[in-house]
Amino acid sequence: MSQLSRLISILTLLRSKRLLTAGELSRKFDVSVRTIYRDIRKLEDAGIPVTTIEGKGYSLMEGYTVAPVQFTEKQANALITAQHLVNQTNDVSFATDFKEAMTKIKSVFRTSVQEKSELLSSKIFVFNSNYENISSNALSEIQIAITNFNYVEISYRKANDEQVTFRKIEPYAFYSTQHKWILIAWCYLRNDYRAFRIDRVQNFKILNETFEDRKFNLQDYFQSCPYDENNHSTLL
């Protein structure tokens, strides 16, 4: 049994209002007690309120319920496929948040749908001939800054340039091309809109200070800005 299947099974047992010990779970799933401890931490990290009762075992916090949502097999397959595509973005924060969200979503899959979705997952392969081994870890945080209109400070390194520059920006929109995430933001250093590759952001800080929305429109931006050799907006 895969770890995901075991996590969902443990959650299902806990939802039945049973009080379960690590020993019981280890025997049931034929794994070590240490593995069960890690599984419980995984559930807690995913936001599931597992309560530890000293000397007695684990249970779910009283009142916790999983939303009565049902997915068809095709809908589940679409989510599984999306997860494989998300993993190609090379942004650790985004991939991690999506994985944790999928753990929660899969907890409400019917058993038959869960089994088939895992089978499909093992049969999906995504190849990228233009792969660059450059990762980022800023996408999820900057997404929050966009929707809350928070200023962001970044240290940024342009393509083919070792120099790192400091920028204060107003983040407005993202788009993806060739498995790379591009941020469009108002840059105070250039006093204009600029496009930043997220994987070239060396460091960033989300400020508590908020900015006034400039009513940025991505379509208008593409129509008015210069283009690079790949027919995308100019990248720094």
CATH number at residue 13: 1.10.10.10
In a domain, 198, yes or no: yes
Residue/partner pairs of 124-131 with CB below 8 Å, 24 or more apart:
124/80, 124/81, 124/84, 125/84, 126/84, 126/85, 126/87, 126/88, 128/88, 128/179, 130/178, 130/179, 131/179
40-86, pLDDT tens digit by residue? 998 888 888 898 888 789 988 877 765 556 788 898 899 989 988 88
Q: Which two tokens stand for residue 100?
A: 């944790």
Clarify whether residues 155 and 203 are in a common domain. yes
96-140, pLDDT tens digit by residue? 888 888 887 887 787 788 888 888 888 888 776 565 666 788 899
Clarify whether residues 49 and 81 are in a common domain. no
CATH code of the domain in which 220 resides: 2.30.30
Clarify whether residues 162 and 101 are in a common domain. no
- Domain containing 51 equals 3-60
Number of separate domains in the chain: 3
Helix (H) or strand (E) holding 53: strand 50-53
Clarify whether residues 149 and 183 are in a common domain. yes
Q: Three-class SS of residue 175?
A: strand
